[in-house]
Structures are given as structure tokens and as C-alpha cells.
Amino acid sequence: MIQAAVSKISTFSAGPAPAETVLRGTVYDRKFNELAVSYRLFSLTVNPVEVSNHRKVAEALAPLIGGKPESLEAKLKDSQRYLELADDLDEQKAAQVIALQLKGVSCKAVEARFYPGHTAASHVLGFMGDGVGLAGVEGKYDAVLQAGTFRRSNMADIDFQGQESLGGNSTDLILTLDIDVQKKLEQRFREYLSAQGAEKGMGLVIEPGSGRILALVNQPSFNPNYFWKANESNRVNRIYNHVLDKELIRPILARAAAIEREGLNGAGLLPETVAAPDYGFTSTMLDAFEKQIQLYGSVFGNWESGPGAPEQPDAVPSVTGVQVGVTLASLVNGGWRITPYVVDSIYDHNTAKRYFRNNDATQKSHVLDPAQSVKIRRELFSKWLMEQENLVVFTGEHLQLLKEKAFSKYSMQGLFVGLAPAKQPKFLLLMAIEQEYLRPMPSEKSYKKSALEEMGKELLTLFVKEQPAEVSQGKPPQKNTENLRQFFISKRLNFRETPGKVNEPIPVMPMVKGMSLRKGLQQLKQYKMKIRVNGSGRIVAQYPLPGQSLAGVNECVLTLDTK
């Protein structure tokens, strides 16, 4: 009844255009490369009931939206409800449509979010749904990126220079990430995992002295442009939420504890022996040193938080990847445990000013005596020092066995840690891989035990040679036209005509949000799509969104929640 009533309401597009909406803020890397950017597009809709001459309208619109006039005319004749003929018109084409003064034809401005790097830094950036940030910096700083004012409580790390609120126009985020470093690490890491037959892994490039994250990699990854197609496990930020066995870094911890016990005037460490493999330290003594350097402490960043390891007495000692990175950084930066961060500053277009982090925003605590920490830095990694390459390289492997009721779960973990330059490290590269099954080792021709180490050394050497420039002090540039071109290409490549007769109407996604799963499946049954269900309870989110065209769409994702 409602649809029938709406179809009789006259709509005209010849009136004055409404005021332009402010687009969502852009997310940049440290060199102002676009990582997430919004574009204003226009959707073209037609009410066939108001169209008196279908042929004329079809011939006028076909050159602007593509396709044959005959096909468009058939759609107009066979439909009694609103049709969305295009959803990716730019401002120039929208103006041409409005200039045609066609009754029943209208253009509506819509905002589209695009991630030019696709999978690059996806776990840092997160994604959006229904116009709202849902994960990563998109979710954590949704109030900042959305148009409108925001208060200091929304960005406690940023110095507002005495102002209580900012915004009013768009506000951009500038991250510490370097997209060139990020892409190099991602590409090599994927190649390595593929060659070794592994699927899961994590990587981190951090400045030990400042806590700035230059790159963060999680595998398997996902594309935030199509985040609903990714499994939930792919969207998990593994380096913050997945555990590694402490045994991977036991040699480093034991050596650091031995250097501290020796004191400032010690004669030097004796080598490990069969009788004292950990320099004579017992597990209890090592546990005390681990607590001193806060190995198991929670790591809260300004975009993500990672839980500490379980503190139950019978729990398997384990740490997250970011805890390992923070701990090892504290052993070479003068004994400071520095919380890593990824948001460097914001640019407020309303005041045309850039606002940087507070001096005290980075959480720092001394976990080692200053003088002692200098000695530890000098002597700790001498065992793994490669003077010719000016690198410090450490690798570890461990087979973890976890009991799950009557079953055993195996996890084969490998770790690489590299520091460069050796004396005053500016880069800490951490990479970890995991296989949750036992398998025979690959043949000698395709496998090298040092493959992970060789890849890490090559990357570290490259990072030192091509050191990322310091964060620019200027304002963001105009939007990148090449990224806009790539956006339109990806939009049109993703579009597929529905197979069938020319006059077959293109279905649209129904509203199932708020329904029970049973009713939702009944609504979707007629569309013959593959349906993936996440969670339990009632439907709280759906992709595609209600009203979107199902042309070329063969999959639907429903998110359920009991609350």
C-alpha cells in the first residue's frame, strides 16, 4: 500500500540543488598519501509512473549511464516502482541529468568511502557500514571523521591548543604509517607465507625510541572496500589479540636478566652451558624479571587495545605480538616501556590548522635502571649482531601443545626480530608465523630454514636505506585524481548486469534488519543468494544494505546479536 501511494507522488529534479553536504574526513599516512577518502556521487532514480514518453527518457539517459536505450526503455515500461539506474554518477553527469528537466527523473547525492590501498593497512584503517565507522581508526575516531564538532574527550591524545572543541567542517586524520613500508612488508610477507604453505602471520615495524608504528600486517587480510565478504577471523587484529608462546623469546629474556644480575661492573657473561642453559636462571627467577619489564602488561594504543596474558597460575605463558614488540623495544631504547601509537595528528579544515599529539600522550614508564639499560642495550644482542650488515637479527621456533578437553591442539610458531642500525636502532621489525597443524617439512629445494631470516634482513636493509621522511608539517593536498579514477574503475568492474531477458526487472535488497533469522531467510529465499550468518539472535546488520541493487550480487551477510 505504501509503495502504491509513493508511486503517485510527483517528483521534480529541476528545482534548486540543496546545499552540499560535508564529506567524511580523509585518513592519510605520514606523507599525506590517501588511505581512506570519501567522494560525493549521485544516484539516478526514475519513477516510471511519471514518465510519459519512455523512449525519449531512455534515449536521453542511456549516453550518460551507459547501456542501450532499448534495454533501458524495457525497464521503464515493465516497472511500477522507483528504479535506481545508476549509483556512481559524478557531479558533471549529475548536472547534465538535471539540465534535461525530465519529469520523474531525479539525482540524489550520496557519499562513498574508498580505500585506495585495498588490503594495505586494512586492520589499522578498519571499515564503515551504514555511514558509521565500525572498526580500526574508522570506528575509534568516527566522531572526529564525521562532519560536525567534536570535543577534546573524543581525541584525548591531541593538543587542542586551548580550544574545547574542533570540527564544524571536515577533519582529517594523519597516521604514523608509511604506506611504502607497509606495502613492501605486506607483499614480501604474503609471498613468504605462500611459499611455505602457511596462512597465518603478523608483522610490525616500530620506532623503538618513539613508539610510532610505521607498518602493521595481519594475515589473512581483507579488503575494507568489501569488508562484508571477509570472514570474521580475517578481520581480527592478530598482532594485538593472538598469543605467541613466551618460549620464542626466552633466550633474549634470559640473556637480559643475566646482564642485569651481573651489574654495571661485571666482567662479562659466560656462555650458556648444559648445566645452566639460561645462564643459571630458574623459571621462577625469569618470571620475576618478566614482571619487572612488564612483559604481560596490557598495551593500550590510541586506536586499538590488546588484553594482557591470562594470570591464572596454571595458564600457559603466552604473550601477544605487540607485547613482544614493546618489551624488546624497551631493552634497546634506554629501558622505557613505550605504548605504540598510530594516530599522529589531525587537520581541522574549519580552523585551517594542524593539531599534533600532546607531549604527555604517549605512555612511558621506566622498567630498567637508566645506567643498567645502556649496558643491556650494548651487550644484549652482541650474540646476534651482524656487523657487516649493521643489523641485529634473532629467530626462534617453538612447537606449542594445547590441551582442549580430550584432544590436543598443535601450533607451530616461528619468530623473527630485527633491529637496525645495530648501535642505535631506529627500526624494530617483528614477524611471526603460525601453523595450526603438523605437516612434513617441504623438500630442500623449496625450503630454507633461514628463509624468514633472509627476508627480514632484506627488508631491514631496505628500510634503513630508504628511511621514511619525517611527518610533514603542512596541510593536506587536494584529493588525488588518480585515486578517484581507480575508484570509478573498481565501481564499474564490480557491476554486473543481471542475466536474463531484457525486460526482466533488477531486484533490490529487502529490509531484513530487526527480523528474526527465520523471517529474514524467508524474505531472502527468492533471491537465490549464498547467505552467511555471523552471531546469534536477531538481525542487527545486513550487507548489501536495504534498497541496493542486487545486479551481479550472489552473496549476503547477516550479522546477528542477542541484545
Over the stretch 124-169, which tens digit does the pLDDT of each residue have? 999 988 788 888 999 999 999 998 899 988 888 899 998 889 988 8
Q: What is the pLDDT of residue 503?
A: 42
Q: What is the pLDDT of residue 556?
A: 85
Distance CA 351, CA 171 (A): 10
Q: What is the grid cell recorded at 168?
A: 564544524
Domains in the chain, please, with CATH?
1-114+479-506 (3.90.1310), 179-465 (3.40.710.10), 507-563 (3.30.10.20)
| Model confidence band, residue 472 (pLDDT cutoffs 50, 70, 90) | low
Helix axes 451-465, 179-196, angle to 10 degrees: 170
Please report, as a single letter, which amino acid is at residue 331. Answer: L
pTM: 0.79
Q: What is the pLDDT of residues 46-78, one digit of tens each?
A: 888 888 888 888 888 888 887 788 888 888 887
Distance CA 386, CA 268 (A): 20
Strands 555-561 and 530-534: parallel
Q: Which long-range contacts (CB under 8 A, 24 or more apart) does 231-235 make?
A: 232/534, 235/123, 235/135
Q: Does pLDDT of 330 surpass 60?
A: yes
Q: Does pLDDT of 342 surpass 90?
A: yes
Q: Does pLDDT of 504 surpass 70?
A: no
Residue that wins the pLDDT comparison between 34 and 435: 34
Q: Does pLDDT of 350 surpass 50?
A: yes
| Model confidence band, residue 494 (pLDDT cutoffs 50, 70, 90) | low
Mean pLDDT of 343-366: 90
Q: What is the pLDDT of residue 160?
A: 92
Please report, as a single letter, which amino acid is at residue 25. Answer: G
Mean pLDDT of 410-435: 90
Distance CA 538, CA 562 (A): 6
Q: Does pLDDT of 114 surpass 90?
A: yes
Q: What is the pLDDT of residue 438?
A: 61
Burial 334-350 (b: 16+ CB within 10 A, else e): bbbbbbbbbbbbbbbbe
Q: What is the DSSP string of 304-356?
A: -EEPPPP--TTSPPEEEHHHHHHHHHHTTTTSEEE--B-EEEEEETTTTEEEE
Q: What is the pLDDT of residue 356?
A: 93
Q: Does pLDDT of 314 surpass 60?
A: no
Count of C-beta atoms within a 10 Å radius of residue 304: 25
Distance CA 107, CA 548 (A): 15
Please report, as a single letter, which amino acid is at residue 270. Answer: L
Nearest-CA neighbor of 335 among 373, 371, 364?
373
Helix (H) or strand (E) holding 143: helix 142-145
Mean predicted lDDT score pLDDT of the chain? 82
Q: What is the pLDDT of residue 444?
A: 46
Mean pLDDT of 345-359: 92
233, 234, 237, 243: CA torsion to nearest 10: 50
Q: Does pLDDT of 7 surpass 80?
A: no
Q: What is the grid cell recorded at 321?
A: 605480538
Q: What is the pLDDT of residues 224-276, one digit of tens each?
A: 998 888 877 788 888 888 888 888 999 999 999 988 888 877 767 767 765 57
Q: What is the pLDDT of residue 35?
A: 96
